[in-house]
Amino acid sequence: MDQIEIPQSVRVAIELRVAKLPARTQDTLRAAAILGREFEFEVLRAMDGLTEEALIDNLEIAERAQLIGAIKRAGAVSFAFTHALIRWRCTKD
């Protein structure tokens, strides 16, 4: 992604959406971005060190902002970034 030229308007739009989130939610998204475009709740919980309730709150905030979405899978609760550029942005801090 670092090799791809991203139009400034797209970059700014993504920056603004992420910047509007609470700092702790941004931290959670950075941790999730390390795991990949898709990530499992339990893996993120172990990595992020938050309580289950706090992590759920952060993920719900990110979902309402349409930055991530839940993935229906048997077994694990998983999520995915709604676009690769959002994940890319979350790895930049």
Give the model confidence (pLDDT) of 6-35 as tens digits. Answer: 677 777 777 888 889 999 999 999 999 999
Helix extents (H) in the chain:
8-19, 23-35, 41-48, 52-64, 84-90
Residue 44 lies inside a defined structural domain of this protein: yes
89 vs 1, more confident: 89
For residues 85 and 81, what is the distance between their CA atoms, to the nearest angstrom? Answer: 9
Residue 47 lies inside a defined structural domain of this protein: yes
Give tens-digit pLDDT for 32-68: 999 999 999 999 999 878 899 999 999 999 999 999 9
Residue 3 lies inside a defined structural domain of this protein: no
SS3 category, 71: strand
Look at residue 1 in the predicted model and tell me its pLDDT.
46
| Domain interval for residue 26 | 8-90
Look at residue 6 in the predicted model and tell me its pLDDT.
65
Name the nearest CA neighbour of 90 among 35, 46, 9.
35
Which CATH number belongs to the domain containing residue 17 in this structure? 1.10.10.10
Number of domains in the chain: 1
Look at residue 8 in the predicted model and tell me its pLDDT.
73
